Chains A and B, each alone.
Chain A
Amino acid sequence: MIRFLRIAGKRLLGAVPSLIGVIIVTFLLSHALPGDPAVLFAGPAADAASVAQVRAHLGLDHSLPQQFLTYVWQLAHGDLGQSLTTGQPVMTDLLQRLPASLELTLVALIFAIGVAVPLGIWAATRPNSWIDHLCRGTVTVAAAFPTFFIALLLVYVFYFLIPLAPEPVGRLNDVYFDAPTTITGFYLIDSILEGNWQTFGGALAQIILPAISLGLFALAPIARITRAAMLQSLASDHVRTARACGLSRRRILITYALRNAMLPVVNVLGMVFSFVLGSNVLIEDVYGWPGVGAYAVKAVISSDYAAVQGFILMMAVLYILLNLVVDLLSMVVDPRVKFEG
């Protein structure tokens, strides 16, 4: 356990360079690129004097390293600047919307893992059977659908054509339901904690379609790697040993094959996270989801720089944290990682 904590600490430190890199890149994206942010901030109608004023106000008249230090100083104080569109601090805006996006992302991931891992195992235990081909075909097709397109299709089919799903108006249709009091910020969890099953049902109904839209693309990588890892594991020398020792089929399949196959699966989760987090941007708007993704899209269109920058930074930090979790998870699964670390 102490060893685990020590290595966890080491990994946490290992994320620091990534964090520094991320901060530098977000800074460069706004400060060191062609185009004058002052002109943008001042708006299209501004004259030279007000542009200069804005420039001084934003500190853009200082040297680049100086601007960077100011930027880091502000970050350290949780200051991501002001949003032009909402007029609020970007930090406030993002924190307000983050739970919605996180909830959606996590539900999508659970959906993807919950479907893809069993599918992959199933296919691996019957390689080259029709089941295997069907699985492979299905996930290949699923992977070809752009997230935003699948989102539209699902709304069209399950709301417009066959009204099974509720109106895509965000996390909860406030005509019928009241939002649960904020405890975790996740409606599904908060409503359970409150014991408000009606709200839970309402929130669940709202989240199903967007979660499927987000998770569908992730099915393919997870299912494929599960299948491949499981096949490799089943064909490995140590599973042969387990069979030669007469261990039961169940024990061989679960303790000897599956546990070993989970390693590569855990490793692709990082990539899947990257995708699912990024795709929030594409589908939140379609479902009227009040998350950071929709916020970022609006900010991009209205050239709200501070907001875009804050969003990118927040997503990167989130992603680094998620990867850290993946890392720790793989340590739990594989003792070898601990010793290499």
Chain B
Amino acid sequence: MSAAAMTDSVPLLTVDDLVLDFRTRSGTVHVLDGISLTLERGEILGIVGESGSGKSVLAYAMMGLLDPAARVPRGGIRFAGRNMLTESERALAETRGREIAMIFQSPRTALNPIRRVGTQVQDVLLRHANVSKKEARTRAIEALARVRIPDPERRFDAYPFELSGGLCQRVMIAMAMACNPYLLIADEPTTGLDVTTQAVVMDLIRDQVRSANASVVLITHDLALAGEYCDRIAVIHAGHIVEIGSTEAMLDSPKHPYTARLIGATPGGHESIDDLASIPGSLPDLRRDLPPCRFIDRCDRKLDRCAVDPLPAVAIGADHLVRCWNPL
């Protein structure tokens, strides 16, 4: 991370040179490699990548919710003074829901199908807010009202299957924000929702965290969506953060060939189909021994050293970092 990105205070979240593998029957999968980033208070960071790039695993690692098959040979994640990878499950459970919260894609299945949605919000409050049952109920209804669920007293008693996908996602946001966490991790929160609902949900997430001065990590495959809502964007490719910087810098003058290709392949902003760029090849097989740069097979700017030298971290301007030997 460039020194300029550091402020005087300690960042809310620091991921430092994180390496993460999955042990599977068909070999070790090198899911994440050398991930470093920081997140300040009140900031919205987008992590953008194709499926299989490791962006969701990174989100789960931040929550300390890793699969037992995951191994972390190097690096760490510090959130609000805690090491999220080494703390006990009990301590992490205290933190989750209170200081760090998460929302998921497909909100209908993310909620318990046979428990009233209000009760699920209430469960979180009872666990973390040290309140009576009655008080928790009142506060749960308030939380539902804050996410603009119409008629929250009545909806408190609804089951997830009685609500639309958009409303379920609002309930999830209400649950996540019930205890005013410092950080909200949103893992593809609008996948599967209609575009109009997506806009409503994203507005809601943004407004909620802004008013609580919380931070967001938005995991998404949609660069345009990240562009509209995030302050900064990190582009992840095959377990590497290839470029990270302010949204303007990333979209206006991308430095990594992959970022540029990604922007070129996003349908919005093109006048004709002929302008639509493609990205050749696909993600490398993460079970193999990988070259230092994992984009090398898809890159038209590769140099000889790309296959040999470890990835550089080139700072461009104050808050823009690219990991490429031959940036644009």
Q: A-side interface residues toward B, CB under 8 Å? A: 236-238, 240-249, 251, 255-256, 259-260, 263, 333-336, 339
Residues on the B chain within 8 Å of A243, using CB: 65, 93, 96
Q: Mark B167-181, 1 if CB is under 8 A from A, else 0.
A: 000001001100000
> What are 15 A-B pairs with beta-carbon distances under 8 A?
A238-B111, A238-B112, A240-B65, A243-B96, A244-B65, A244-B102, A244-B104, A245-B124, A245-B127, A247-B127, A256-B112, A256-B115, A334-B114, A336-B113, A339-B162
Once the chains bind, are A260 and B124 in contact (CB under 8 Å)? no
Once the chains bind, are A238 and B63 in contact (CB under 8 Å)? no
- Residues of A contacting B: mostly: helix
Take A246-B93, A248-B127 as given contacts and tell me if A238 and B101 are in contact as well, using a CB distance cutoff of 8 Å: no
Q: Does B161 contact A (CB under 8 A)?
A: yes
In the bound assembly, the distance between CA atoms of A57 and B2 in angstroms comes to 104
Residues on the B chain within 8 Å of A336, using CB: 113-114, 159, 161
Once the chains bind, are A238 and B172 in contact (CB under 8 Å)? no
Smallest beta-carbon distance A267→chain B, Å: 14
Smallest beta-carbon distance A35→chain B, Å: 52
- Residues of B contacting A: mostly: helix
Smallest beta-carbon distance A246→chain B, Å: 3
How many residue pairs at the A-B interface have CB separations less than 8 Å? 81
Chain B residue at minimum C-beta to C-beta distance from A262: B114
Count class of interface residues, chain B: 20 to 34
Q: Does B78 contact A (CB under 8 A)?
A: no
Once the chains bind, are B110 and A241 in contact (CB under 8 Å)? yes
Smallest beta-carbon distance B244→chain A, Å: 25
Once the chains bind, are B114 and A335 in contact (CB under 8 Å)? yes
In the bound assembly, the distance between CA atoms of A334 and B128 in angstroms comes to 27
Q: Does B97 contact A (CB under 8 A)?
A: yes
Residues on the A chain within 8 Å of B124, using CB: 245-247
Take A236-B109, A240-B104, A244-B65 as given contacts and tell me if A335 and B159 are in contact as well, using a CB distance cutoff of 8 Å: yes
In the bound assembly, the distance between CA atoms of A244 and B105 in angstroms comes to 14
Q: Does B123 contact A (CB under 8 A)?
A: yes
Chain B residue at minimum C-beta to C-beta distance from A244: B102
Task: Identify B96's interface contact among A245, A335, A339, CB under 8 A.
Answer: A245
Q: Does B294 contact A (CB under 8 A)?
A: no
Smallest beta-carbon distance A265→chain B, Å: 14
Query: Which of A244, A335, A339 has the most chain B CB atoms inside 10 A of its CB?
Result: A244
Residues on the A chain within 8 Å of B194, using CB: none
In the bound assembly, the distance between CA atoms of A334 and B159 in angstroms comes to 10
Once the chains bind, are A260 and B113 in contact (CB under 8 Å)? yes
Smallest beta-carbon distance A115→chain B, Å: 26
| In the complex, the 6 A-B pairs of residues with the closest C-beta atoms, listed nearest first | A246-B96, A246-B97, A245-B97, A244-B102, A237-B109, A238-B112
Task: Identify A242's interface contact among B112, B113, B159, B161, CB under 8 A.
Answer: B112
Take A240-B65, A240-B104, A251-B127 as given contacts and tell me if A246 and B94 are in contact as well, using a CB distance cutoff of 8 Å: yes
Smallest beta-carbon distance B292→chain A, Å: 34
Residues on the B chain within 8 Å of A260, using CB: 112-114
Task: Identify A237's interface contact among B65, B92, B104, B127, CB under 8 A.
Answer: B104
Residues on the A chain within 8 Å of B96, using CB: 243-246
Once the chains bind, are B114 and A245 in contact (CB under 8 Å)? no
Q: Does B98 contact A (CB under 8 A)?
A: yes
Take A243-B65, A244-B63, A336-B161 as given contacts and tell me if A251 and B114 are in contact as well, using a CB distance cutoff of 8 Å: no
Chain B residue at minimum C-beta to C-beta distance from A259: B114
Residues on the A chain within 8 Å of B176, using CB: 245
Once the chains bind, are A238 and B113 in contact (CB under 8 Å)? yes
Q: Does B95 contact A (CB under 8 A)?
A: yes
- Chain B residues numbered 194-245 whose CB sits less than 8 Å from any CB in chain A: none
In the bound assembly, the distance between CA atoms of A244 and B101 in angstroms comes to 6
In the bound assembly, the distance between CA atoms of A260 and B89 in angstroms comes to 23
Residues on the A chain within 8 Å of B123, using CB: 242, 245, 247, 251, 255
In the bound assembly, the distance between CA atoms of A144 and B33 in angstroms comes to 51
Residues on the B chain within 8 Å of A251, using CB: 123, 127
Once the chains bind, are A238 and B110 in contact (CB under 8 Å)? yes
In the bound assembly, the distance between CA atoms of A167 and B106 in angstroms comes to 61
In the bound assembly, the distance between CA atoms of A255 and B106 in angstroms comes to 21
In the bound assembly, the distance between CA atoms of A245 and B176 in angstroms comes to 7
In the bound assembly, the distance between CA atoms of A248 and B127 in angstroms comes to 8
Chain A residue at minimum C-beta to C-beta distance from B112: A238
In the bound assembly, the distance between CA atoms of A263 and B172 in angstroms comes to 24
Smallest beta-carbon distance B143→chain A, Å: 12
In the bound assembly, the distance between CA atoms of A236 and B106 in angstroms comes to 12
